[in-house]
Amino acid sequence: MNAWRAAALLCVVWLPALAAGGQALDGATRENWLHHGGTQSAWRYSALDQINAENVSRLVPAWVFQTGDYVDGLQSTPIVIDGVMYLSTNSNHVFALNAATGEQLWRYEYKGQPTAGFWVQFQPHNRGVAVEAGRVFLGTFDNYVVALDAATGGELWKVNVDNTAQCGCMIRSAPLLADGKVIVGVTGGDGAFRGYITAFDARNGRLVWRFHVIPGPGEKGNETWKGDSWKFGGGAPWSIGSYDPELKLLYWGTGNAAPDFYSGDRVVTPRRTDAGINLYTASVVALDVRTGKLRWYHQEVPNDVWDYDSAYEIVLFDAEIDGRPRKLLLHMNKSGVTYVQDRVNGKVLNAFVVPEASNWIGGVTRDGKLVDRREPAVGEMRNFCPSGFMGAKSWNQMAYSPRTRWFYTPTLETCMNIESMPQKPVEGGFFVGGTGGVVLPPGRDNYSHIDAFDPLSGERKWSYPYRYVLLASILATAGDLVFTGNPEGFFFALDARSGRELWRFQTGAGHRGSSVTYAVESRQFIATPTGWGSIIGGMAAGLFPGEGEKWRKGSAVVVFALPEGE
């Protein structure tokens, strides 16, 4: 019996988000879209249902806002609070807009050094701001956190996180707001760098704590690194975490070990492959929000030699298992191996593989052990699926609906040819330890699909195939709808229960960002960023010669609603 099938034998009763102690975990948004993932639980789900499966075919454009910043498209997640939309661009411009009309209320242009540091030159991306208590928080391409007045856009404070020119790192994701703190991770997992998560006081920018992903000498876990390799071992937590306020725990995914494809200089011998190699890279870590201290961890890919980050979103949800209410989380590794864990103690309750093209392992056990690993070799090009560069899913987020109790994920079907080779680190420099490129798996006529699956059984409920690659986030709503966009420029809605396409609209540019929904004066809106771009977007386009170059760039927010009066 397959491991994920065995999980179906669990006695599971779904709760209406009942948390331990009887407090409800509500990961739904309503009139406002408050956080990057909608809420701190990262459901990307709205309880609004004015727009639903019965009337979505009547959606029309309500307004469009052009940012004018066409650097690598628009990857931002809009934040909407009390009728105001806050939006950032890749050049670190921030806009406040009337969320009902698109009228610009104010604009802020960050004055930094966009050419300082390796990753800034090649990936000048910004994926959103955070907003709370009348302040807008922005992470920048030269490693600052900036606080703005939400009413005026005036700068309130600015604090440096690190020297970008030295570390080769930057802040790309939106900050996470939790317990009065602004919490950020940094890029650099493919460079000679030691990743970390930093918390600042939201009132004044004062440093509260810093958690280094790779332990230093004398710290538990440092013994899993060979010599001084820990200094440049990667592990960059470049995306955003989640937060459980009842447990006071942050959940954050960490990046791959560096160099990406060669571990000969970083792994202690004799080598183990089951657990505890190059800690705490390619892991989910649970941190005390008050101190930054590690409470538990789960390393998904010990001795990562494929570039299989664990840096993606972590979704918090609850269910009753074997008669007991459990506080759970779900996390998909870049490899497509997906884990369901008890978020109190980190115990793995189920694990399963989502992509169809997967040859780097023979499988995964129900408790998360990788079976029959295949690894890159020095002097030999080998093929691995999924691709390490693109992943079985990009950074774009999945969604969870408490109505169906299913997760919805944009799954990619790509592979990668890798040759491993030794490389000496240069601080802040490119550090991959090999060469290779992304390729398409043979014998397919589609290379991505939206999947709906039951997290506790691993059973796929439906799949929506797509010829090219889907690199935009998923939005789910109480109207039993699932929204996303594709690189050809279409924004579309699926029936959340069947996967049937119900509506689509050509927005004029490809989709790389995260759509949101909100309401102003009882009218529901759906907003989607548009504009193709980025290194990964370029890789994706290159896989389809004669077709991918047609995917249009841009930088606009396109907003939809039902016709007025309906």
Q: Which residues contact 36 (CB under 8 A, 6 or more apart)?
A: 42, 77, 79, 127, 128, 130, 173, 174, 176, 240, 514
CA–CA distance, 508 with 553 (Å, rounded to integer): 9
Q: Do residues 336 and 411 touch, judged by C-beta distance below 8 A?
A: yes
Catalytic site residue from 72, 142, 190, 307? 307
For the stretch 452-498, pLDDT in tens is 999 999 999 999 999 999 999 999 999 999 999 999 999 999 999 99
For the stretch 23-38, pLDDT in tens is 446 789 999 999 999 9
Identity at 21, one-letter amino acid code: G
Looking at residue 16, its pLDDT comes to 44
pLDDT at 114 over 80: no
User: Of the given ranges (13-17, 276-280, 426-430, 479-483), which has the lowest mean pLDDT?
Assistant: 13-17
For the stretch 360-415, pLDDT in tens is 999 999 999 999 999 999 999 999 999 999 999 989 999 999 999 999 999 999 99
SS3 string, 293-346, reads CEEEEEECCCCCCCCCCCCCCEEEEEEEECCEEEEEEEEECCCCEEEEEECCCC
Distance from first CA to last CA of the chain, Å, rounded?
Answer: 51
Looking at residue 177, its pLDDT comes to 98
pLDDT at 14 over 60: no
* Residue 244: active-site member: no
Average pLDDT over residues 124-133: 93
Q: What is the pTM of this model?
A: 0.94
CA–CA distance, 465 with 515 (Å, rounded to integer): 20
Looking at residue 535, its pLDDT comes to 86
CA–CA distance, 339 with 269 (Å, rounded to integer): 28
CA–CA distance, 41 with 400 (Å, rounded to integer): 10
Confidence of residue 19 (pLDDT cuts 50, 70, 90): very low
Of 110, 118, 105, 248, give the one whose Cα is nearest residue 170.
Answer: 118
Confidence of residue 167 (pLDDT cuts 50, 70, 90): confident
Average pLDDT over residues 63-84: 95
Looking at residue 23, its pLDDT comes to 45
Domain boundaries 3-561, CATH class: mainly beta
Give me the sign of the Cα torsion angle 417, 275, 357, 483.
negative
- Read off φ and ψ for residue 46, nearest 5 degrees: -120, 140
User: Of the given ranges (166-170, 260-264, 422-426), which has the lowest mean pLDDT?
Assistant: 166-170
